[in-house]
Structure 1
Amino acid sequence: MIPLKKGSAGHDVFAKLFRGNFQLEEQIQPEASFSSNSSYVETEESGTAVVQTGKITKSEKLELEFSIQEDMRQEILEGNYKMAIAPSDLVDFGGQKSYDMTHQLFIQCKGTFVLMFDGRYGLYDALVEYKPKKITTMSILKHWIDSILTYCVDVFVDEHKLPKILFAATHGDAFPRDDRDERKAMFIKELTKIFSSYDLNEHIIYHTIFFFDARNQYDPEMQNLTRYLVDIAFEQPSWGQQMPVAWVPLELQISEMKTVERNFVRKSELQKVNEQNGDLALTDSQFEHFLRIQHSLGKLLYFGEHGINNFIVVQPSALVNVMRSFVTDEMFWPKDDDIKEILPVLSRTGVIRRTDLYKLWEQTHFKQLVPSDDLKKFIIEVLIHLDILVEPKQYNGTERSTEFFLVPCMIKEEAPTAFLNMEEMADKMICLSYRLKKSSIPAALIFKLIGSVLNVLPIKEQDGRQCLYYQAAAFSIDDNNECRMHMKGDRIVINLINKVSRLEISPDIAASLQECLTFALTNVLQFYYACIGKDIKKVDILKLFDTEVGVLCCDEICFITLNEVKKRKTWTCEKKIIHETHLYWILDETIGQDECPPECEGFPAKDLSQSPNDKHLVRLASELNISHFNEFLLHLGLKTKDWEKIEYNWGRAEDAMVVALLQWKESNQNVTFKKILDAQESIADNRHHLCQVFKGQPGLLENTSFGFQDTPDDRFLSTLSRKLGNCVIQLGIELGLTFSDIEAVYVKHPKDLFSQMYEVLKIWKQKTPENTYLNLMLAIQRVRGKQFLKRNFCCVI
């Protein structure tokens, strides 16, 4: 909305805008002496501005557009325009489950959702189009409400109680008025019965529904819904929100691109457009901020990640339409002979070839959306970033394939019975699960999690087929161990299985896998929160779900939270059966926790003036308490906003603490141990933490039978990278890499924990003259502890 202030300048711009609008309908007032080609508009002065709307030539139109732009720029500079934005986009989604992955990208935390269903059927009637499965309207409604409310947790609930979910029934014309009212009351009764007990039910408007006769454009139910939506819109916190005036030209220019159906634009092109705005041109940082805010509002899509920041999706629905070329329902699949066979393979195996993808995009309506090869490459990289397309990883450590992709959300084949046979696997598996605390697991979440794990672990192949199924997958860890993942009710269940026995599973493999899966799930949740416009720290994401361990009990799995089971040797399940605790696979984290002897006088005063190196800061971070770390940084001189940015970007607390200390050292000239000790004492922290930083590493030099002076080969490093867990920054610094080396690794492998670790080990081997087993083991002992070395190197320490 751009309210015009009183004055001739405002009217002049307004008149020019209307002269350029060839769709303006003529409105003639008999009592006024207007010419037959004139129109009028009411102004703030309650006067009438006569606007000529006769035909103008193309060159005149270009002149007019330039004049309008110049006049508006001048008006903005003089403060005569005030811009208030209240976004209210309408998006119509298909209801088939095939579209779940596309919908999740566009669900907004402040949005209003109208769930529509066919009013001719009861809420519990099996729907014909889903046969032979017994799928009902109620099950679909539950599915969508779970999908929407998954990301509306207590930490975000505000006085607006947004988002809002409403219900609307179609085919009201199939019933007489009295029958329609009776049926409407029945629907309301059933909806209230189910959703009044839901978590976060304040977001669900179940006490009313709208029953449409879609053939009647004056249907009062449609008018009632319109009024209801407007009322909700006025509750939006963005209503009347002030935006920078300097954004106005760029917003108008992007709006013009949408008008002429420009769906994608190069970032460099939009930057040039911005530069032409003269005094109102945004700086590079302001331009970047503008794009991110517009993305959070759903006005455009901008992925500011390395490799996918060269294009801007001006029309977000265009990306949905591109995805619809292969993420779609069978009823919409093209019947062309050279295309129709792609779907059966995709539905059965979850595999689509790159050549098939390009073939789909050669269809006329998709070719218009994706006209160039550069744009095709960008879209593929975006779809990989979104885990909708997954490039399968090979077990032999080779680079990812480019010939075909996996599409977890499109596979329809159910997992075989043997895949879920718990009784047969009871003595061979360790069982974990993840359960969201506030709602059930939406289908899109399990699809994206499978896709995320496929970036880390290779898919298992059996009898020439990849083990990828509907909401389930099996991954290879090594020749003797595999990981199976499936969704069961409100849990994502993970089974780590050994060919022989559970006792043969390496504790480090189990612990690393659990750490890797937790890391993947937090990344997936954080991604979805970013999509809906929420900025959430990873420490808060960890509060959204419970990590559980499970044991087979009477042909079912009984679960207990990992935090609870750590406290006891046995526990009793709901069936009143006592189970033993078997957590031998928890990683040893004792390194650095030993206390100084009573006679220790603390860090030597003579060394306090020395400057810590990167290794010292990594070791210090492992000693400090995260709950006091922000205060500790303040005493060092690092600002809270800088810490919050680091915590958001790096997520994992251990990593964020290391990065904060490294950045503190980088941004200050006089960095000493005394400053660290003073900061510790200011928050009453343990002054002996600095002693632990210099703690020795006894024992390794006594045993030289392992070939300590040899250089590890790449195969050894590849195997080791799958056992070390999530310690990329810590081990990299201990091995002598610079922080810039490690940052480059994260850019190259942004979501792949094992590849990050393998890349760090390869850089260490290539760059470091002392690239021996001895130095590698010393670094690992520092980060992972003695028990890790005992289990993995079979040496006496």
Structure 2
Amino acid sequence: MYDLFIDRLQLAILTHCTVSDGGIHDRISKRLGVPREVLRWDQEARERYVEYANRGTQTVHHARGMIVGCAWAGKTTLLKRLLGCTEKEIEEVKSTEGLEVHEEIFELCDEEKSLKARRKYKDQNNVESNSEKLDSKTLTFFDFGGQAAYYACHQIYLTGRAFYVVVVDSSKRLDQKVDEKVCDQDGSVFSGWTYGDYFVFWLKSIHTYCGSDNENDQKPVVLIVATHWEEGLRQFKDKNELMDSLRDQLPKPSNLSQYIRYDRFHCIQLSVPLHNLERSFYEIACDQQWKESIPKEWFFFQIEINQKKHYKRILKVSEITTDLPESTADSQKGLNEISKGKLDMLRYYHDAGKVLYFDENGLNEGLIIDIQWFIDAFKHIIKDRLHFTGIPGNEEDWDEYYKSGYLRNTLLIKIWKSKDDKLCEMLKKENEKYKIKMGSFRFDARYLKYHQESLLNFMQRLGLLVVGEESHYVPCMNRKEMEPAVPDLIRRSESKSSVLVYQFTFLPFFFFFRLVVACMQEENWKVLKTHGTPSLYKDAALFLVEGYTVVLSVTKESIQLQIVHPKKGCILELDNYKTQEIQERVENILYDFAGKFHRKLLFTRGFRCRVDDKNLIAMDINGHFLSEEDIQKDDGEMICPLHTVIDQHSINTKELKRYWKI
């Protein structure tokens, strides 16, 4: 019925009220080739899209695959083998730092039903590019670094517009702890994790970013690839045993088992060709979901981006030369139709992961057109210990950064200058080889030093760091343990709230970092200092807000909030209005972040049934979480519903709810 309705209305369905039902979006996208992002736009923007599309469209077929997994599992080696690299090239493979984007490196060969590595050519500027055919079907791969420090930048690319390849090292037992030197876990939230923990982490991440609990919605395609399947290396008798072992790692109850499928599970050996796996990639990439029809003007902008990438990394909006015809809908309303048209186009390419653009003050004058360059700039400053080599700097500055996450601006300049110097040497050698004049490489667009302010502003907007005058705070690098003075402060206080708990079905580890970054930018929120140093820790952050101490902390499955009046020797009542104002601000940030995921990140508000005296901050809530619904009707003393027999105790619901808006 829906299909007939879509076929009858064609593009006009985008202006019909039916589009408000998200359950029909996948059907519309597949039948009409309309990008899914456009279907989530407001009415006026969709009207403009229809008007542009009616003037002419260009069909593009472009699939994207994300290769994820633990460090040294064989992700990069897998990609090199698909490209047909020699044994020597494969032996020289190094651990991926951050994220490597391999843009349209394969063409889908329909005759052989296989992948064909696309040839590279050098243009007049000696820049390598892929050969382009407008009607070709292409495949891009993203190779995600497995080290813990790099997970912060994954949020930029984990998307529903891709299929996923989860790589598992079959030579490792799932209950075996990962070598902390391999993943640089020491002191991080991943400390002590096993190979099984990482597998579950990736499935949860994929489901959170891209999955859906709605039966009518498109589910992410997930392939699992077990490497090192050679006899004598693998820890499992056969494929079925490994699949069962992976299922045993999943939390119960769980809907993650839907991603462990026999037909999408491949066990590979170095000596055996990858024909079956390659065929699977081909079949997935041929699916109609990757086929889109976009307005021709938008397609011309993609060509403009590809051309300008050779000599620019950040493009001013005023420099966009793609001509957009005016929109009747806009002109009738007296709006600046060209400006609106550009915003629609930039919004699409931002959502598609082709550019970074935000229509906000301070950022809306330019866009980053080379995402790999931006990712590289960030990964250079979040290198783990394995990759921090050859960069000059004061040892004390390095120690402070690696422990607290505070990166001195002088050290940042040295890090980026070191990368620029290496690029300069490489360009100098290429210029000598191709007999190009020396001056051509001195102001290359890839140099980071010319773009420091813009790069930092974009990174702050994405919640990756907080820009400061002398130092910048990079939360994913913070491994600082909390001083005993902090919980002692809470313990001694006679005026404090209960701990409000936000329990998540799955909590991406960087989510708390983004919350801290947002709070640090709030007006009247100042980072509290303990013994003269900022009270920012790997799992907690303390702020001073109009005389109140606000304590934010994180566990594997929850974010926790408590408000304390720190004045000594005096019993002061907390101001309910002020505590609820702080609660509302924190929750607005949480809801804003949670709503940006493909499937809204779900969390439940509640309390821990009683305080853990040993761990006042970041308390374990396993077996102790009471949702607000559990105590909504009661307003006084009651037996804890979680402990009616063993460890029986009472709770005072009035005190739990006293300072919060419940």
Give the TM-score normalised by structure 1: 0.54
Corresponding residue for residue 318 of structure 2 = 268
What one-letter code is carried by the residue in structure 2 that aligns with 1:227?
R
Q: Compared with structure 1, are the counterparts of its residues 172 and 105 closer, same or farther at alpha carbon in structure 2 (3 Å cutoff)?
A: same
Q: What is the aligned counterpart of 1:578 among 650, 655, 662?
A: 650
Q: Compared with structure 1, are the counterparts of its residues 198 and 310 closer, same or farther at alpha carbon in structure 2 (3 Å cutoff)?
A: farther
- Please state whether the residue corresponding to 2:358 is helix, strand or coil: coil
- Please state whether the residue corresponding to 2:142 is helix, strand or coil: coil
CA distance in 2, matches of 1:339, 1:147: 37
- Please state whether the residue corresponding to 2:143 is helix, strand or coil: coil
2:263 is the counterpart of 1:212: no
Residues 452-531 of structure 1 mapped to structure 2, 5 A cutoff: 452-456=518-522, 457-479=525-547, 481-499=548-566, 504-526=573-595, 528-529=596-597
Q: What is the aligned counterpart of 2:404 among 324, 336, 349?
A: 349
Q: CA deviation at 1:445?
A: 0.8
8 A Cα contact 2:229 2:267, kept in partner: yes
CA distance in 1, matches of 2:571, 2:286: 58
For structure 2, list consecutive stretches of 5 or more residues without a partner in the other structure. 1-109, 111-120, 126-131, 328-336, 425-443, 614-618
Corresponding residue for residue 330 of structure 1 = 385
Q: CA deviation at 1:379?
A: 0.9
Q: CA deviation at 1:190?
A: 0.9
Corresponding residue for residue 706 of structure 1 = none
CA distance in 2, matches of 1:88, 1:277: 31
Corresponding residue for residue 140 of structure 2 = 89
Residues 115-130 of structure 1 mapped to structure 2, 5 A cutoff: 115-130=166-181
8 A Cα contact 2:393 2:411, kept in partner: no
CA distance in 2, matches of 1:264, 1:108: 23
Listed one character per residue, the Cα deviations across residues 590-636 of structure 1 (whole Å, up to 9, x for unaligned) are xxxxxxxxxxxxxxxxxxxxxxxxxxxxxxxxxxxxxxxxxxxxxxx
Q: CA deviation at 1:569?
A: 0.5
CA distance in 2, matches of 1:166, 1:434: 35
CA distance in 1, matches of 2:240, 2:145: 26
Q: Compared with structure 1, are the counterparts of its residues 58 and 209 closer, same or farther at alpha carbon in structure 2 (3 Å cutoff)?
A: closer
- Please state whether the residue corresponding to 1:469 is helix, strand or coil: coil
8 A Cα contact 1:123 1:138, kept in partner: yes
Q: What is the aligned counterpart of 1:230 among 264, 279, 282?
A: 282
8 A Cα contact 2:312 2:446, kept in partner: no
Q: CA deviation at 1:235?
A: 4.2
8 A Cα contact 1:474 1:484, kept in partner: yes
Listed one character per residue, the Cα deviations across residues 731-790 of structure 1 (whole Å, up to 9, x for unaligned) are xxxxxxxxxxxxxxxxxxxxxxxxxxxxxxxxxxxxxxxxxxxxxxxxxxxxxxxxxxxx
What one-letter code is carried by the residue in structure 1 that aligns with 2:155?
Q
8 A Cα contact 2:250 2:256, kept in partner: yes
Q: Compared with structure 1, are the counterparts of its residues 433 and 90 closer, same or farther at alpha carbon in structure 2 (3 Å cutoff)?
A: farther
8 A Cα contact 1:428 1:497, kept in partner: yes
Q: What is the aligned counterpart of 1:377 among 453, 465, 469?
A: 453
Corresponding residue for residue 182 of structure 1 = 237
Q: Compared with structure 1, are the counterparts of its residues 492 and 191 closer, same or farther at alpha carbon in structure 2 (3 Å cutoff)?
A: same
Corresponding residue for residue 568 of structure 1 = 634
Q: What is the aligned counterpart of 1:402 among 462, 469, 488?
A: 469
CA distance in 2, matches of 1:433, 1:86: 51
What one-letter code is carried by the residue in structure 1 that aligns with 2:375?
V
Give the TM-score normalised by structure 2: 0.64
- Please state whether the residue corresponding to 1:429 is helix, strand or coil: coil
8 A Cα contact 2:391 2:414, kept in partner: no
Q: CA RMSD of the aligned region, Å? A: 3.9
Corresponding residue for residue 361 of structure 2 = 306
8 A Cα contact 1:165 1:203, kept in partner: no
What one-letter code is carried by the residue in structure 1 that aligns with 2:200?
K
What one-letter code is carried by the residue in structure 2 that aligns with 1:211?
C
Q: Compared with structure 1, are the counterparts of its residues 342 and 586 closer, same or farther at alpha carbon in structure 2 (3 Å cutoff)?
A: closer
Structure richer in helix, relative to its length: 1
Q: Compared with structure 1, are the counterparts of its residues 353 and 58 closer, same or farther at alpha carbon in structure 2 (3 Å cutoff)?
A: closer
Residues 388-467 of structure 1 mapped to structure 2, 5 A cutoff: 388-391=464-467, 401-416=468-483, 419=486, 424=491, 428-437=495-504, 439-456=505-522, 457-467=525-535
Corresponding residue for residue 8 of structure 1 = none
- Please state whether the residue corresponding to 1:338 is helix, strand or coil: coil
CA distance in 1, matches of 2:215, 2:489: 39
What one-letter code is carried by the residue in structure 1 that aligns with 2:281?
L
CA distance in 1, matches of 2:549, 2:351: 39
Q: Compared with structure 1, are the counterparts of its residues 278 and 106 closer, same or farther at alpha carbon in structure 2 (3 Å cutoff)?
A: same
Listed one character per residue, the Cα deviations across residues 359-384 of structure 1 (whole Å, up to 9, x for unaligned) are 21112257866537662211111111
Q: Compared with structure 1, are the counterparts of its residues 229 and 200 closer, same or farther at alpha carbon in structure 2 (3 Å cutoff)?
A: farther
Corresponding residue for residue 437 of structure 2 = none
CA distance in 2, matches of 1:106, 1:435: 26
Q: What is the aligned counterpart of 2:205 among 126, 139, 147?
A: 147
Q: CA deviation at 1:344?
A: 1.9
Number of matched residues?
481
Corresponding residue for residue 291 of structure 2 = 240
Say which one has the larger Rg.
Answer: 1
What one-letter code is carried by the residue in structure 1 that aligns with 2:267?
F
Listed one character per residue, the Cα deviations across residues 52-100 of structure 1 (whole Å, up to 9, x for unaligned) are xxx9x989xxxxxxxxx9xx9xxxxxxxxxx789774211110111112
Q: Compared with structure 1, are the counterparts of its residues 290 and 115 closer, same or farther at alpha carbon in structure 2 (3 Å cutoff)?
A: same
What one-letter code is carried by the residue in structure 1 that aligns with 2:284?
I
8 A Cα contact 1:425 1:497, kept in partner: no
CA distance in 2, matches of 1:346, 1:140: 26
CA distance in 1, matches of 2:286, 2:358: 30
Q: Compared with structure 1, are the counterparts of its residues 111 and 495 closer, same or farther at alpha carbon in structure 2 (3 Å cutoff)?
A: same
Q: Compared with structure 1, are the counterparts of its residues 155 and 448 closer, same or farther at alpha carbon in structure 2 (3 Å cutoff)?
A: same
What one-letter code is carried by the residue in structure 2 that aligns with 1:128?
D
8 A Cα contact 1:85 1:240, kept in partner: no
Q: CA deviation at 1:452?
A: 1.4
Q: What is the aligned counterpart of 1:165 among 222, 227, 232?
A: 222
What one-letter code is carried by the residue in structure 1 that aligns with 2:354?
K
Q: Compared with structure 1, are the counterparts of its residues 135 and 196 closer, same or farther at alpha carbon in structure 2 (3 Å cutoff)?
A: closer
Q: Compared with structure 1, are the counterparts of its residues 573 and 458 closer, same or farther at alpha carbon in structure 2 (3 Å cutoff)?
A: farther
- Please state whether the residue corresponding to 1:151 is helix, strand or coil: helix
Q: Compared with structure 1, are the counterparts of its residues 409 and 180 closer, same or farther at alpha carbon in structure 2 (3 Å cutoff)?
A: closer
Q: CA deviation at 1:303?
A: 2.0
2:188 is the counterpart of 1:138: no
8 A Cα contact 1:351 1:407, kept in partner: yes
Q: Compared with structure 1, are the counterparts of its residues 88 and 434 closer, same or farther at alpha carbon in structure 2 (3 Å cutoff)?
A: farther
